Chain A
């Protein structure tokens, strides 16, 4: 059973307004049967300092990543996790988090790999909820376990592997990292730990559009007109070609994937989660340094 969408006029211009809910909407709908609120943060104990009443916590690293292989968890582990969090296959899931929903968008993208159909973001995330002085609680998570079915991931439609990127040359690539990472001055986001890429720079032909340009100061998404100006006019995306977005480990580019797919309505957008930590260490892949995108190599 899914919950009615947020009819807020603020979302009307987006391609898929049903993918967003406002803080007002969420406040009114807390406790509605069929709705599960999920907090997903970069900081692993931020949830414990105070969270939206009734929200459960899903951590990108300890819950969604496979603990051994560099991959996402598989169907059985996802079913166990969501069952433990009280989520049913037909639940409406609203995800929110810190840093302009950076990690919330990542969690939403992973939910989408498993085909969970009704998953939305709280526009403005944790920051906006707190800025508006809305209620938070430190109550321990309390979820009634459910039997979530085991569904295997379907990566192909929205996830690109390194080989897919090599075959994609000639179509648009979006690099959502900082300008310094793009140019090759550094391999990590400013003020972020070294995560082990051996070479610096960007994938040839990728346009540089740092992910946070899609977020306004209050952590909400920018308007449709502003997003069109950035991604269509400036970065040259037309919607006629497949697009691949990448960053360092695929989290910031999940945010951009959400914007391109759900707010601008582009089809065939994939997130390359191997991203720079894979590409920048891979043997015999092309790299460009400096501010210029560089020419697209022959696809292979």
Chain B
């Protein structure tokens, strides 16, 4: 899959970051961090459903849902004192929300490296988002394999 095929909502996020100067990219990441949605009521008391992203330096947990219409929703929790990790989770939660399973599986694994944050955030820290995307896809593959 080439970047031409990037789902439009992810492409928009990337364009928004790339349009900014480096310091303002951090500000946008902070806005994403603040926008990370709270968990829906039905998942709040189910820590068992959530998978820890151990590659991240702070405790972040994700859960991927496929709704009855076959659309993907990513839920994540991360502490307020880890805004960078929250920002990464929020970019993916917003960027993947409502896509088909195939569309999510088709997102390039290097998407986090393409949104212009390597210099502002450092490649080391960006590994956290790469790991989140990888784990999201793995959960989806397991989910769809179980259904097949």
Interface residues of A (CB under 8 A from B): 42-46, 48-49, 61-62, 98, 191-195
Contact = CB atoms under 8 A, between A and B. Distances in A.
A43 B80 CA distance: 11
Given A191-B54, A193-B128, A43 B81 contact: yes
Given A191-B57, A193-B55, A193-B128, A45 B30 contact: yes
Nearest to B22: A62
A44 B30 CA distance: 10
A45 B87 CA distance: 9
A62 B131 CA distance: 21
B84 A45 contact: yes
Contacts of A61: 122, 124-125
A194 B81 CA distance: 22
14 contacts: A43-B82, A43-B83, A43-B85, A44-B121, A44-B122, A45-B84, A46-B82, A46-B83, A48-B30, A61-B122, A61-B125, A192-B57, A193-B57, A195-B124
Interface residues of B, number: 27
A191 B56 CA distance: 7
B47 interface: no
B27 interface: yes
Q: Which 8 A-B pairs have the closest CB atoms?
A: A61-B122, A193-B55, A45-B83, A43-B84, A48-B30, A45-B30, A49-B83, A45-B26
> Which secondary structure dominates chain B's binding surface?
helix
A43 B79 CA distance: 12
B72 interface: no
A49 B86 CA distance: 12
B127 A193 contact: yes
Given A44-B120, A45-B30, A62-B120, 7 more contacts: A44-B26, A45-B29, A45-B84, A45-B87, A61-B124, A98-B81, A194-B55
A225 to B, nearest CB: 31
B136 interface: no
B58 A43 contact: yes
Contacts of B84: 43-46
B122 A49 contact: no
A45 B25 CA distance: 10
A44 B125 contact: yes
B70 interface: no
A193 B122 contact: no
A62 B119 contact: yes
A43 B125 CA distance: 9
Nearest to A99: B81
B77 interface: no
A13 B81 CA distance: 32
A46 to B, nearest CB: 6
Contacts of B125: 44, 61
Contacts of B58: 43
Contacts of A192: 57
A61 B124 CA distance: 9
A277 to B, nearest CB: 11
A191 B81 CA distance: 16
A233 B128 CA distance: 40
A168 B56 CA distance: 35
Contact of B33 (A45, A62, A191): A45
